[in-house]
């Protein structure tokens, strides 16, 4: 490894030369208390910024190594350091100067969730004890002329200060660090307790559920009603750090969330949706925990569907279309919602989360009068109300459903929660009593059983990541779109995708799946589960052949969700 003076003299030498000369700074340099490595140099000032990483010894950092043991503690620590590093950049870097991305320093910016990423890797075993942080730097230039002075300022003034602020126990607030750890560890523990308590989800008293705005996921600060469970649904759990915590336990089975418009129904469901991930302290949803296999389901008209067995919900389509292997380039609201459910079941979900706001009405309900006017023979759809109970009985899959608009669900709900001015009430008994008094004269059209869930095996020829001269061209375009070869994969239907780094990883996981697993003739469920296992074991770095810091681990459901939405997907 070269001394840092070598980097200094190289930059001085290439000052004012053409941008290509920046290639000479590639390599690793000893900065004394850390190693700086320029891993990739951008082609010009407007290209994606250069990839840089820093490495410090765990002992040199001064952090207590016991904080970095494997598993969730490691994830929490890496998450904390990424956030601290991000803040240090904001407080230190002068930022944009020169052309294009000149002068920018940036690290993959996390949202409110704590997930496994590769922006920070902490290795603490017999072979190594290091903390590595990966970020990007826009190498400064005027036009295509290297601005050496500015580059020196970035590498010798700014980055060492940022490293000092984020990677040294002396400058990091150790209490904050511990709070972060403990909060994440508690959440993992809480999620583990759900099944033994027979719960689908848990929402602690005092949780803050509403968000700042539809585009800002931070907690709402003013005029907030903190969450308070009705007494009858209260459950207490004991967590390793927080001790005893009490909140609302949503039991397995069918749960209905009712209440007037604007009374907080969707806000509660969204918090539950996100409860599959841990949250950072201060988020307000730290102790909202949901079965890790929960999937949010919505209608998504226009989506592509490839040979999904939607027959539990839809049969007898016009023109005799097969609904055991239903395919379309342009799904309707109801067929898309049916396919979304069946695909989630195919991947092994245990809990469906459904909001009337984003559902197809004719998929959710069909009342007595309509049953009389349009006979069952002329209606292909069996509404969800006639299947939701059977889904639990036959397959053990629970549902939490927001439904303010129809009382038909009272007959099938195990629990009914009413939101009143953001306060939940247990109205199960009252709903049952009403259901008895106004016995529904609609007919159950769902048959005796839920029906079959059919696994599918993708054809390897479905996957072609090449574009133009490139054999593999895969990228994320925002949170909800993947560019895969010449294909755009639209992910707006996947509500539980929370970071663009997950989206980016999904693109690469599809490629890994296509090349290593799809060729082996195994089902989508098996293949994706194996890919994710491999990823958990080997780390995100296996996904791309060079060092990057912008990937995060997604869930199997979102990976399968992306493959299912590929318009080139063909199933055997
Ligand atoms: P619904 O689905 O019942 O129509 P929403 O969940 O969409 O209602 O909530 C309506 C509004 O109330 C939203 O702007 C939301 O941010 C706000 N809100 C939800 N829960 C709370 C709460 N506990 N305290 C304050 N405001 C809330
Ligand atoms: Mg709503």
14-30: pLDDT as tens digits: 999 999 999 999 999 99
Give per-residue pLDDT as tens, 268-319.
999 999 999 999 999 999 999 999 999 999 999 999 999 999 999 999 888 8
Confidence of residue 124 (pLDDT cuts 50, 70, 90): confident
Give per-residue pLDDT as tens, 500-546.
999 999 999 999 999 999 999 999 999 999 999 999 989 999 999 99
Q: Cβ-count burial of 330 within 10 angstroms (0-12 exposed, 13-18 middle, 19+ buried)? A: exposed
Q: What does the alpha-carbon distance between residue 528 and residue 554 come to, in Å, rounded to a whole number?
A: 11
Give per-residue pLDDT as tens, 232-274.
999 999 999 999 999 999 999 999 999 999 999 999 999 999 9
pLDDT of res. 540 = 97
Q: What is the mean pLDDT of residues 172-188?
A: 93
Q: What does the alpha-carbon distance between residue 328 and residue 67 come to, in Å, rounded to a whole number?
A: 51
Q: Which is the closest atom of ligand 1 to the Cα of 227?
A: 23
How remote is the CA of residue 415 from the centroid of ligand 2, in Å? Answer: 19
Asked if 250 contacts 400 with a C-beta cutoff of 8 angstroms, the reply is: yes
pLDDT of res. 118 = 97
Residue 326 reports pLDDT greater than 80: yes
Confidence of residue 220 (pLDDT cuts 50, 70, 90): very high
Distance of CA 494 to the CA centre of its chain: 9
- DSSP sequence for 431-484: HHHHHHHT---SPP-S-SS--------B-GGG----BTTBS--EEE-STTEEEE
Asked if 367 contacts 408 with a C-beta cutoff of 8 angstroms, the reply is: yes
pLDDT of res. 361 = 96
How remote is the CA of residue 226 from the centroid of ligand 2, in Å? Answer: 18
Residue 67 reports pLDDT greater than 80: no
Give the closest residue to 150 by CA, choosing from 106, 87, 105, 108: 105
Confidence of residue 492 (pLDDT cuts 50, 70, 90): very high
Residue whose CA is closest, atom 9 of ligand 1? 264
Residue 66 reports pLDDT greater than 80: no
pLDDT of res. 228 = 98
Please, what is the average pLDDT of the chain? Answer: 95
pLDDT of res. 99 = 82
Bridge partner list, 415: 255
Residue 59 reports pLDDT greater than 90: no
Q: Which is the closest atom of ligand 1 to the Cα of 226?
A: 23
Give the closest residue to 422 by CA, choosing from 147, 154, 229, 236: 229
pLDDT of res. 85 = 97
Mean pLDDT lowest among 169-173, 386-390, 426-430, 566-570: 169-173
Q: Could you say which DSSP state residue 197 is in?
A: T
pLDDT of res. 114 = 97
Asked if 486 contacts 470 with a C-beta cutoff of 8 angstroms, the reply is: no
Q: Could you say which DSSP state residue 550 is in?
A: -
pLDDT of res. 487 = 97
Tell which one of 205, 210, 212, 420 to mutate to probe ligand 1, the residue whose CB is within 8 A of the most ligand atoms: 210
* SS3 state of residue 185: helix
Q: What is the mean pLDDT of residues 430-444?
A: 91
Give per-residue pLDDT as tens, 364-411.
999 999 999 999 999 999 999 999 999 999 999 999 999 998 999 999
User: Token digits for 235?
Assistant: 């459950």
Percent of the chain predicted with pLDDT > 70: 100
pLDDT of res. 125 = 80
How remote is the CA of residue 328 from the centroid of ligand 2, in Å? Answer: 29
pLDDT of res. 69 = 74
Residues with CB under 5 A from ligand 2 (ion): 265-266, 357
pLDDT of res. 319 = 86
Measured from the Cβ of residue 169, the count of other Cβ atoms closer than 10 Å reads 14
How remote is the CA of residue 275 from the centroid of ligand 1, in Å? Answer: 17
Asked if 147 contacts 140 with a C-beta cutoff of 8 angstroms, the reply is: yes
Q: What is the mean pLDDT of residues 167-177?
A: 91
Q: Which residue has the higher pLDDT, 318 or 117?
A: 117
Q: Could you say which DSSP state residue 114 is in?
A: -
Confidence of residue 128 (pLDDT cuts 50, 70, 90): confident
Residue whose CA is closest, atom 11 of ligand 1? 262
CA dihedral (236, 240, 242, 248) in degrees, to 10, reads: -30
Ligand 1 first shell, C-beta below 6 A: 209-210, 220, 223-225, 259, 261-267, 419, 422
Residue 4 reports pLDDT greater than 90: yes
Bridge partner list, 418: 258, 425
Q: What is the mean pLDDT of residues 471-477?
A: 95
Q: What is the mean pLDDT of residues 3-18?
A: 98
Confidence of residue 198 (pLDDT cuts 50, 70, 90): very high
Asked if 478 contacts 500 with a C-beta cutoff of 8 angstroms, the reply is: yes
């Amino acid at each position: 490894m070269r001394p840092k003076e070598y980097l200094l003299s190289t930059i001085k030498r290439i000052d004012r030369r053409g941008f290509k000369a920046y290639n000479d700074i590639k390599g690793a340099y000893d900065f004394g208390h850390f190693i700086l490595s320029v891993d990739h140099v951008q082609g010009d000032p407007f290209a994606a910024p250069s990839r840089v990483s820093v490495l410090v010894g765990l002992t040199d950092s001064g952090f207590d190594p016991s904080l970095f043991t494997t598993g969730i503690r490691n994830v929490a620590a890496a998450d904390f350091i990424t956030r601290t590093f991000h803040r240090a950049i904001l407080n230190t870097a002068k930022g944009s100067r020169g052309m294009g991305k000149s002068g920018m320093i940036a690290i993959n910016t996390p949202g409110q969730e704590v997930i496994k990423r590769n922006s920070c890797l902490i290795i603490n075993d017999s072979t190594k004890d290091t903390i590595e942080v990966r970020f990007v730097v826009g190498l400064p230039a005027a036009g295509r002329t290297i601005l050496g002075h500015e580059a020196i300022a970035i590498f010798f003034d700014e980055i060492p200060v940022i490293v000092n602020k984020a990677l040294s126990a002396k400058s990091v607030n150790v209490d904050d660090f511990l709070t972060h750890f403990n909060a994440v560890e508690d959440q993992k523990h809480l999620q583990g307790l759900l099944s033994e308590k027979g719960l689908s989800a848990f929402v602690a008293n005092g949780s803050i559920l509403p968000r700042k705005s539809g585009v800002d996921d931070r907690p709402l600060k003013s005029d907030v009603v903190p969450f308070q469970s009705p007494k009858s649904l209260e459950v207490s759990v004991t967590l390793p750090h927080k001790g005893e915590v009490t909140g609302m336990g949503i039991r397995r089975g069918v749960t209905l969330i009712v209440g007037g418009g604007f009374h907080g129904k969707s806000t509660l469901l969204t918090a539950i949706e996100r409860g599959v991930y841990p949250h950072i302290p201060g988020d307000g949803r730290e102790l909202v925990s949901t079965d890790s296999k929960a999937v949010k389901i919505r209608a998504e008209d226009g989506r592509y569907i490839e040979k999904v067995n939607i027959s539990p919900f839809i049969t007898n389509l016009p023109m005799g279309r097969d609904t055991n292997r239903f395919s379309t380039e342009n799904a309707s609201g109801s067929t898309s919602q049916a396919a979304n459910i069946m695909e989630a079941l195919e991947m092994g979900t245990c809990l469906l989360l459904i909001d009337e706001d984003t559902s197809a009405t004719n998929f959710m309900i069909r009342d007595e009068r309509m049953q009389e006017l349009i006979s069952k023979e002329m209606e292909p759809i069996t509404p969800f109300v006639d299947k939701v109970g059977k889904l639990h009985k036959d397959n053990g899959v629970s549902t939490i459903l927001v439904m303010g608009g129809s009382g038909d669900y009272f007959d099938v709900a195990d629990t009914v929660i009413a939101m009143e001015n953001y306060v939940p009430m247990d109205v199960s008994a009252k709903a049952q009593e009403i259901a008895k008094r106004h016995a529904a004269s609609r007919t159950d059209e769902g048959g005796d059983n839920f029906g079959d869930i059919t696994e599918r095996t993708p054809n390897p020829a479905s996957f072609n990541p090449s574009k133009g001269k490139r054999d593999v061209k895969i990228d994320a375009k925002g949170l909800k779109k993947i560019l895969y070869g010449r294909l755009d994969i639209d992910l707006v239907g996947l509500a539980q995708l929370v970071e663009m780094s997950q989206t980016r990883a999904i693109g690469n996981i599809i490629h890994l799946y296509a090349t290593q697993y799809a060729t082996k003739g195994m089902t989508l469920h098996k293949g994706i589960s194996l890919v994710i296992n491999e990823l958990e074991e080997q780390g995100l770095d296996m996904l791309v052949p060079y060092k990057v810091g912008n990937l995060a681990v997604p869930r199997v459901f979102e990976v399968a969700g992306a493959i299912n939405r590929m318009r080139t997907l063909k199933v055997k």
